[in-house]
Amino acid sequence: MHYNQSYIASKINTSPTHQKKYASYLYGLKAEEMAAGYLQLQGYQILNIRYKTGLGDIDIICSKNDVIAFVEVKASKKYVVEELPYQKKRKNSMVALQFLAENSQYGDFNIRFDFLAIKNGDVIAHIKNAWELEALEYSWGV
């Protein structure tokens, strides 16, 4: 079935709130692409971008040598590096465990959670080992 452009345009949500959210979403996607490029230049192999499960998502999964890094990317035009909320760390940790369960070839890799900040198109911070899985496992009662 072929739709004409005026029909398609009538179905697009053009409210200011939707447009702002969509622009923010696109900015985030661009930041993830920039972060992946930066990581590749640092010698990382990108395994997955925007890995999603029913538990949540991880922006970038990459590896270098015997390390697999689960990277949270944050971007803002006026960004200041802040601590990632506990709930996001917990969700990322659970998603990482699911990824590892589905990809046994990485079972012997060391696990690391990184935080990468993008501001005005530039990487302004790459914090390696931003948090540890073990600390979160204790709070889960594992």
CA contacts within 13 A on the Cβ side of 134: 3
Residue-level pLDDT at 120: 78
Count of all residues that appear for the chain in the document: 142
Find, among 109, 101, 111, 108, the residue nearest to 131 by Cα: 111
Confidence of residue 5 (pLDDT cuts 50, 70, 90): low
Residue-level pLDDT at 103: 94
CATH number corresponding to 15-140: 3.40.1350.10
Q: Where along the chain do its domains lie?
A: 15-140
- Cα distance between residue 121 and residue 117, in whole Å: 10
5-9, 42-46, 58-62, 73-77: range with lowest mean pLDDT: 5-9
Mean pLDDT of 46-63: 94
- The DSSP code for 84 is P
Find, among 84, 92, 97, the residue nearest to 142 by Cα: 97
pTM of the entire predicted model? 0.78
Mean pLDDT of 130-138: 64
pLDDT tens for 56-111 read 999 999 999 999 999 999 887 655 556 677 888 888 889 999 999 999 999 899 99
